[in-house]
Amino acid sequence: MATLKEQGFYMPGEWHPHRRCWMAWPSNAGGYSGQFAEARQAAARVAAAIACFEPVIMLANETDIIEAQTLCGPSVEVQAAPIDDGWFRDNGPSFVIDGRGNIRGVNWDFNGWGRKPGIPFTRDRAVTKHILAREEIACVASPLILEGGSFHVDGEGTLLTTRQCLLNPNRNPAWGQASIERELKDHLGADTVIWLNRGVVDDFTDGHIDLLAAFVKPGVVLALGCDDAADANYTALQENLEIFRGARDAKGRSFEVIEVPQPPAAYNEATGTRLGLSHLNFYLANGGLILPDFGNPESDAAAQGLFRELFKDLEIVPVPSRALLYAGGNIHCITQQEPVTGPA
């Protein structure tokens, strides 16, 4: 049977026009280090901000429908679905299109970020199949354990990811790098995979790319940076910059690499672990960019200024989202765009 790539399907860049944004309501109360109520409020703020630019569907368990709708407001459509938590980027479908009006949803396998303790994932593992059937979108299953936050694409054949995550024995111990590359290319239409080695310290996701890098457009990449040699993340982030500067994308272009400073270190008061602060964990909407605001006036203002320069045609909307960090993610992690099916 022909692969999705052979059929002409590919995953477009996140700037491709969206039909809507999918989200899921935070539901694992024990996973937020005492910040559960605040995390729900943050998710609601994100949903409402995105809804100013494009339709938003928020999935929620039946018992949470009323609270989710109340906090999100009338601009967000809340739908009932069995879920474990709110990280829809990671356990939801990856949508691919063929530019001729057809769309498919890739259903990767999901194991709760490597079967992390205290993380239920039975319902989240099944939710992609559930919603695709409801929306009458053809579902294409892959046996690869993969979270949506572990890769970025430029829509022109280039895919970014990390070895720390995809080659981790807690995900796909029987898969090698070559076989993983083949699966990614077959399902997402990629031609070139650029591998970073590792992410930041204490990263619950084991090195998701959406904390480390993002595309501005094909050929232009944002990369998390650190200029403090004493910082625990300095070596890894410097290495990532060097990999990007030495790489070429699927079209043979060298990258323009724009360094985005890592915010000042902050820690989970309950566990002592370092929070994964990164302004690269944003959401691109139709005409807007939803940017994390971590409550640090200096670094947040600097990031907002930089993003306004980089994305001049978009409205930059900072949203307070620090509480989400206590469960290991942020704005990009809780959102999943569904592209329109035609060309951009």
> d(Cα 199, Cα 165) in Å, to the nearest integer?
9
CB proximity list for 147: less than 8 A, separation 6 or greater:
87, 89, 90, 91, 108, 110, 113, 165, 205, 208
210: nearest Cα among 333, 336, 42: 333
What are the DSSP calls for 60-108, one per residue? E-GGGHHHHHHHH-TTSEEEE---S-S-HHHHSPEEEE-SSS-EEEEEE
- The two tokens of residue 287 are 């005409």
CA 305 vs CA 205, 225, 228, 299: distances in Å: 28, 17, 22, 10
Strand-pairing partners, residue 283, are 290
Catalytic status, residue 333: yes
CA 321 vs CA 258, 273, 307: distances in Å: 24, 18, 17
Torsion of CA 107, 108, 109, 113, to 10 degrees: -130
The one-letter amino acid at 287 = G
Catalytic amino acids? 333
